[in-house]
């Protein structure tokens, strides 16, 4: 399999995840994860910052993020890939508990090994604004 084939396959895995989430099918979305190896690295400056390991932690993270931002919407702008990594570049829009909203870009780096998602590392453009509208800035 060529490098381009691997990148294309990896991008399809991430697209499948997002299509499943949009359809409300979390069980299908989780099929491509290796939860024994999985880690989600969130920015320490956010209310849900830190490293989340495994399926239970991933599910708990989603409960927290969707409770923090109501509503939370995303729009995929582009998928890029190379080697084990896929970047899902997207626009996030959400409203915090203060009633204020944010709009920011995020480059989510997804790592796929042996056809399974093992890592996600989001890189947010404006975590300061997100923290401010969440009401957790000192």
pLDDT (tens digit per residue) in 6-39: 999 999 999 999 999 999 999 999 999 999 999 9
**130 vs 75, more confident:** 75
What's the structural domain count of the chain? 1
CATH number at residue 91: 3.10.450.50
CB–CB of 72/104 below 8 Å?
no
Q: What is the pTM of this model?
A: 0.90
> For the residues 73-95, what does the mean pLDDT come to?
95
Between 87 and 100, residue with greater pLDDT: 87
Q: Would you state the pLDDT for residue 96?
A: 87
Q: 97-132: per-residue pLDDT in tens?
A: 889 898 999 999 999 999 999 999 999 988 888 878
Going by C-beta distance under 8 Å and a sequence separation of 6 or more, which residues neighbour residue 8? 81
Question: Residue 79: which domain range?
Answer: 3-134
Q: Quote the distance between the C-alpha of residue 21 and its chain's center.
A: 11
């Amino acid at each position: 399999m060529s490098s381009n084939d691997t990148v294309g396959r990896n991008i399809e895995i991430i697209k499948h995840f997002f299509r499943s989430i949009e359809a409300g099918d979390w069980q299908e979305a989780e099929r491509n994860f290796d939860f024994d190896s999985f880690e989600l690295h969130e920015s320490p400056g956010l209310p849900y910052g830190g490293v989340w390991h495994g399926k239970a932690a991933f599910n708990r993270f989603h409960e927290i993020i969707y409770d923090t931002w109501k509503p939370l919407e995303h729009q995929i702008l582009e998928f890029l890939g190379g080697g084990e990594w896929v970047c899902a570049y997207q626009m996030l829009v959400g409203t915090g508990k203060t009633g204020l909203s944010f709009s920011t870009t995020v480059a989510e780096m997804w790592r796929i090994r042996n056809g399974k998602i093992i890592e996600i590392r989001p890189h947010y453009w404006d975590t300061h604004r997100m923290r401010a509208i969440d009401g957790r800035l000192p």
